[in-house]
């Protein structure tokens, strides 16, 4: 029988939630890395026992952790937990994220726009998102703050920047969102290993067709009232982007305000907010088996990061946007003032498709029927930063 | 206050903050053999060589500088802003007093 493993990153540690395919009874393991911020954790599709974790702290910096046994044990890649290292310089530096400053490729990578409009140097802060390769368990991507994309081809032991992204020319116009200037979304095209989409707050979405050497801003059609030119090429606060594996040219975006859609790999976007009660939000995802069914969690506004009227609601569109239905069964009817962050929603691939999301109030909700009904899997975790799901056979 | 001599290797005690003890999987103070002269740089070099999982958590990878929210205390004195190459007191080199690494109070 299939089973489900939900990976939950929180403000104070990581948790792993397990259930069989019925998804009624759950076990909760953790906290792992107790007391640390776990921005994101994600398993490899190639080897589900391989899980990568971004562990971070304002005091102690950035660490990468890895499990090779499905979350039972963890280590920093290349650094065995118990062994005394051999003398000599280390061969694995799993936590070192050094921007490319080489004369050949790093020279133009100097500054981005600061909050006050002045230019500011790039400063590494943390890894926001980890995306394992779809074809190789040893290859993994990391989206970082200040925004850049890194790749490891040795299981996270060493990381190298794909500097073509920062270097393509618009970097000085990128600016931090309220949460920092993070590269938070990495989508790998399952049909073309050289095509990758990424998104940055607040720069926008970008696409490479050559494995990360060169990048193109793909923000045509986005409109952001808070920037001097609302239709600018970059500067948009994209909150998250989702894709169905069967249609890699179709993307859905939750922008700061507006839910957007593209059918041509980002060349043109159109708004599909439709009848949503508010189109501000962070999380967005697509049903595992229905490419036109998507989910968002509307949030009141950019000034009030909680649901409308204290009622936590998921909205589902079965028409690829524009026509949305409220999903309320099992969700709080009143006095709910949590947020659902951008990486805190995920789906499993069972039939019916399971939908999961975590809140800043520490609840993780699950639906085993495509969103028709919801129940809390766990209620009192630290604030949830990320949710990912592994469907195990 | 006299300083550590130039001769033999010393056994130095390092007191790590809670999260770094967990990371290194140690309980209590760490004991390290450090060649003279015993300085903060030499102690941290020895610490990171023995416990590579701590690399980057106390000193920045790129600059080697103390991370902003950490402080160093020695014999009840704040050494956070001292040169990392200044010889530590004999009491530290003799293992009688630890190099104390603390997280600055900067939030919860």
- Taking only the tens of pLDDT, chain A with its 393 residues reads 899 999 999 999 999 999 999 999 999 999 999 999 999 999 999 999 999 999 999 999 999 999 999 999 999 999 877 778 877 778 899 999 999 988 877 776 779 999 898 999 999 999 999 999 999 999 999 999 999 999 999 999 999 999 999 988 899 999 998 889 999 999 999 999 999 999 999 999 999 999 999 999 999 999 998 888 888 999 999 999 999 999 999 999 999 999 999 999 999 999 999 999 999 999 999 999 999 999 999 999 999 999 999 999 999 999 999 999 999 999 999 999 999 999 999 999 999 999 999 999 999 999 999 999 999 999 999 999 999 999 998
Cβ burial A358-389 (10 Å sphere, 16+ → b, else e): bbbbbbbbbbbebbeebebbbeebbbbbbbbb
Asked if B52 lies within 8 A of A85 by C-beta distance, the reply is: yes
Specify the DSSP class assigned to residue B78: E
CATH number, domain at B58? 3.10.20.30
B73 in any annotated domain? yes
Tokens of A122: 């790039």
Which CA distances in Å does A393 have to A2, A45, A172, B1?
4, 12, 47, 67
B2 in any annotated domain? no
Residue B96 belongs to domain spanning: 9-103
Separation between Cα atoms, residue B22 and residue B28, nearest integer Å: 10
B28 in any annotated domain? yes
What integer pLDDT is reported at residue A81 of this predicted model?
A: 76
B65 in any annotated domain? yes
Task: Name, in order, each residue with C-beta under 8 angstroms of B63's C-beta and a sequence gap of 6 or more.
Answer: none
pLDDT tens digits along B42-86: 999 999 999 999 999 999 988 899 999 999 999 999 999 999 999
Strand locations in B3-49, DSSP E?
A: 10-15, 30-34
Q: Decide: helix, strand or coil at residue B98.
A: coil
Asked if B53 lies within 8 A of A81 by C-beta distance, the reply is: yes
Average pLDDT over residues B16-45: 95
Mutate one of B21, B61, B108 to test the A interface: name it (highest A CB count within 10 A).
B61
Residues of chain A contacting B53 with CB distance shorter than 8 Å: 63, 76, 79, 81
Mutate one of A55, A61, A85 to test the B interface: name it (highest B CB count within 10 A).
A61
Contact B71, B78 (CB under 8 A): yes
Number of folded domains that form chain B: 1
Asked if B49 lies within 8 A of A85 by C-beta distance, the reply is: yes
Instruction: List residues of B whose CB lies inside 8 A of any A CB.
Output: 17-20, 22-23, 25, 49-50, 52-53, 55-58, 60-62, 67, 69-70, 103-104, 106-107
Asked if A84 lies within 8 A of B69 by C-beta distance, the reply is: no
B1 in any annotated domain? no
Residues of chain A contacting B56 with CB distance shorter than 8 Å: 61-63, 95-96
Q: How high is the ipTM of this complex? A: 0.90
Separation between Cα atoms, residue A366 and residue A385, nearest integer Å: 16
Q: Decide: helix, strand or coil at residue B24.
A: helix
Contact B35, B52 (CB under 8 A): no
- B107 pLDDT more than 60: no
Kindly report the nearest CA distance between residue B69 and chain A, in angstroms.
5
Average pLDDT, chain B: 90
The DSSP string of B44-72 is HHHHHHH-GGGTTTSB-TTT-PBPTTEEE
Mutate one of B21, B23, B47 to test the A interface: name it (highest A CB count within 10 A).
B23
Cβ burial A208-240 (10 Å sphere, 16+ → b, else e): beeebeebebbbebbbbeebeeeebbbbbbbbb
A58, A76, A93 ranked by CB distance to B69: nearest: A58
pLDDT tens digits along A70-103: 999 999 999 877 778 877 778 899 999 999 988 8
Reported as half-sphere exposure (CB side, CA atoms, 13 A), residue A167 has a value of 18
Asked if B55 lies within 8 A of A59 by C-beta distance, the reply is: no
B31 in any annotated domain? yes
């Amino acid at each position: 029988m299939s089973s489900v493993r939900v990976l939950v990153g929180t403000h104070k540690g990581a948790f792993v939630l397990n259930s069989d395919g019925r998804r009624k009874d759950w076990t909760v393991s953790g906290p792992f890395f107790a007391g640390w911020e776990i921005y994101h954790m994600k398993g490899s599709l190639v080897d589900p026992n391989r899980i990568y974790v971004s562990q971070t702290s304002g005091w102690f910096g950035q660490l990468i952790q890895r499990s090779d046994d499905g979350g039972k044990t963890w280590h920093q890649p290349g650094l065995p937990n118990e062994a005394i290292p051999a003398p000599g310089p280390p061969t694995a530096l799993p936590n070192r994220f050094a921007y490319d400053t080489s004369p050949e490729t790093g020279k133009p990578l100097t500054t981005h726009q600061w909050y006050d409009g002045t230019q500011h140097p790039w400063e590494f802060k943390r890894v926001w998102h980890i995306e394992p390769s779809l074809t190789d368990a040893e290859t993994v991507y990391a989206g970082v703050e200040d925004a850049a994309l890194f790749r490891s081809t040795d299981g996270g032991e060493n990381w190298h920047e794909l500097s073509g992204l920062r270097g393509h020319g618009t970097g000085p116009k990128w600016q931090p969102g309220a949460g920092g200037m993070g590269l938070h979304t990495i989508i790998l095209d399952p049909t073309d290993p050289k095509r990758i989409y990424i998104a940055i707050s607040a720069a926008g979405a970008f696409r490479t067709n050559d494995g990360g050497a060169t990048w193109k801003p793909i923000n045509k059609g986005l409109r952001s009232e808070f920037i001097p030119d609302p239709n600018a090429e970059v500067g948009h606060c994209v909150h998250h982007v989702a894709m169905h594996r069967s249609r890699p040219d179709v993307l859905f975006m939750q922008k700061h305000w507006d839910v957007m859609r593209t059918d041509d790999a980002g060349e043109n976007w159109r708004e599909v907010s439709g009848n949503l009660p508010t189109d501000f939000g962070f999380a967005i995802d697509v049903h595992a088996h229905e490419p036109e069914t998507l989910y968002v969690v509307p949030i009141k506004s950019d000034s009030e990061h909680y649901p409308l009227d204290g009622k936590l609601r998921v909205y589902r569109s079965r028409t690829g946007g524009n026509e949305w239905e409220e999903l309320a069964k099992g969700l709080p009817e009143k006095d709910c003032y949590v947020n659902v962050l951008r990486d805190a929603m995920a789906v499993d691939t069972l039939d019916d498709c399971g939908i999961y999301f975590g809140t800043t109030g520490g609840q993780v909700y699950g639906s085993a029927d495509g969103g028709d009904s919801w129940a809390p899997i766990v209620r009192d975790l630290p604030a949830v930063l990320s949710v990912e799901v592994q469907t195990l056979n | 206050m006299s300083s550590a001599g130039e001769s033999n290797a010393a056994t130095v005690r390092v007191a790590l903050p809670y999260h770094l003890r967990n990371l290194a999987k140690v309980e209590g103070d760490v004991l390290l053999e450090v060649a003279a002269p015993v300085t903060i740089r030499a102690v941290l070099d020895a610490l990171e060589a023995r416990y590579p999982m701590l690399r980057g958590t106390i000193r920045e990878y790129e600059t080697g500088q103390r991370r902003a929210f950490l402080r160093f205390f020695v014999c009840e004195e704040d050494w956070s802003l001292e040169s990392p190459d200044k010889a530590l007191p004999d009491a530290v080199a003799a293992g009688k007093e630890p190099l104390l690494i603390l997280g600055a109070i900067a939030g919860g």
